Amino acid sequence: MGMVKAVLEHPEDLIPLTKMMMTAEKIKRQIPPEPHWGFAYSMLQKVSRSFALVIQQLDAELRNAVCVFYLVLRALDTVEDDTSIPIDIKVPILLKFHEHISDRDWHFSCGTNAYKVLMDKFHFISIAFSELGKSYQEAIEDVTIRMGAGMAKFMFKEVETVDDYDEYCHYVAGLVGLGLSKLFHASKLENVAPDSLSNSMGLFLQKTNIIRDFLEDINEMPKSRMFWPWQIWNKYANKLEDLKYEENSVKAVQCLNDMVTNALVHAEDCLKYLSNLKTHTIFRFCAIPQIMAIGTLALCYGNEEVFRGVVKMRRGLTARISDQTRSMADVYGAFYDFSSLIETKIDEKDPNAILTRKRVDAIKKACVSTGLLNKRGLYVVRKRAMCSSVLIMVVVLLLAIFSAARLMEW
C-alpha cells in the first residue's frame, strides 16, 4: 500500500517505477553462467543496487571492466571502513592492495554482510580481473595504488581544512572519476577527459554522500567516522557530534548548508564533463548519478532531518530520472530544477546565503545559456496533479500483474 500511495501522490512516477522493477528482475535473471562473473554481478547487486542498475547502460566489454573496477575499489573501501581493524594491520593492506587484485589465493576477512562475502571470496574478482584487456587492467591497478596510498595517508591525518577535505575526497572518489575516464578511453568509445573534470565528477558524488550520511558516520561503532572538515563545522559547534542533538538544530542546519554550498562548486565541471561525452550508453551511465547527487543536495539543504535519520530521494523520482535521462537537455533541465529548489529554501539570515545564491545562480546560468531547457523530456519538479479513479485502477492493476508475474517465477 505504501507504493500505491506514493504513486497516487506522484502519478508521473508510475510507468518509470514499473520499468525499474521489471529491469531489476531482468538483471537478476541475467547473471552470467561463469562462476567468477556470476559472483561479480550478483555481488554488485548486493553492495549497490543502484549501481547494478546504472551499469546496465554499458556495452558488455566495458561493463565487465567497470564491474571489476567497482568491486575492487569497494573491497579496498571495506578495509578502510572497518574501524575494528588495527591501524598497524590496515595500513599495509591499503598500500599493497593493488598486488592482491591478481592474486587468486588472497583474501582478508573484514566488513559485514555482503561486504564480508566479497572479501572472503575475492579470488573470484581476481579471476574476472585476469580476463580483462591489458589497458583496462592497467587503469584499475593505477587507481588502486593511488587510492590505497591516499587512504593510508588519512589513517594518520584528520580532515581539518577544506583543502584536506578536497584531498580526501580526491583519493576516495576523484580517482574513481579518473579511473572511469581511463576505462572509457581504453574502450575506444571516448576521448581522454581532462583530469580536473573527472575529479570533479567524483568529488560531487562523494561530498553528497558525506553530507547525506552524517548520522550514520557519526554513530559508527566502535569508532565514529568524521569527514566533515573542522574548518567548516567549528564555526557552528565545539564538537562535530554536537550537531546531531536537537537543541543545536539551528547551528546544525547552518553547518549543513555550508557543506552543501561547498559541494555545489563542482556542479559546473560535471556539466562540462557530461557535455563532452560522445557515446549515449556512457553518457547515461555518468549522467544519472550526477542528477541524483544534485537532487539529494537539494533535499538535504536546510533539512534538519539529515541529523535525525536518512534523507533520500523518493523511489519514484529515482526511477523517473533513470528512465527519462536521455540527453544533455535532460541533464541541464534537472540541474536547473534542483538548483531552483535550493534557491527557494535559502534563508537570507543563513551565514552562507550570499555564496549559496551565487553558486546556484551560476549553475542555472550555465544551464540556460545552452538554449536546451525547452528541449528536455525530464521534469523533476512539477505542479501537483489530480488523480482520477481510472488512474487508481491502473496502478492497482499493474502492481497486481507485476506481483503475479513474480509469483509465477517461483
Omega before residue 33 within 30° of 0, cis? no
| Active-site residue identified among 212, 315, 320, 359 | 212
The span from the first CA to the last CA of the chain, in angstroms, equals 23
Q: How many alpha carbons lie under 13 Å from residue 72 in its C-beta half-sphere?
A: 33
- Report the C-alpha gap between 202 and 70 in whole angstroms: 13
Told to judge if 406 belongs to the known catalytic residues of this protein, a careful annotator would answer: no
The total number of residues shown for the chain amounts to: 410
Taking alpha carbons only, the member of 372, 205, 362, 342 closest to residue 286 is: 205
What backbone phi and psi angles, to 5 degrees, belong to 245? -90, 135
Active site residue 70: no
Report CA-CA distances (Å) from 317 to 26, 35, 303, 375, 381: 21, 35, 19, 20, 10
74 in active site: no
Give the CA distances from residue 272 to residues 125, 179, 197, in Å, rounded to whole numbers and listed in that order: 33, 18, 7
Distances (CA, A) of 369 to 248, 329, 359: 41, 12, 15
CB–CB of 202/173 below 8 Å? yes
Q: For residue 384, what is the DSSP state?
A: P
Is 302:348 a contact under the CB 8 Å cutoff? no
Task: Point out the catalytic residue in the list 168, 184, 273, 283.
Answer: 168
DSSP 377: S
Active site residue 212: yes
Q: Which residue has the cell 539529515?
A: 306
- The single residue of 39, 129, 214, 285 carrying the catalytic annotation is 285
Going by the DSSP 8-state scheme, the letter that residue 158 receives in this structure is -
CA distance 24 to 20: 6
Exactly one of 63, 104, 146, 225 is catalytic; name it: 225
List, by residue number, the catalytic residues: 168, 212, 225, 285
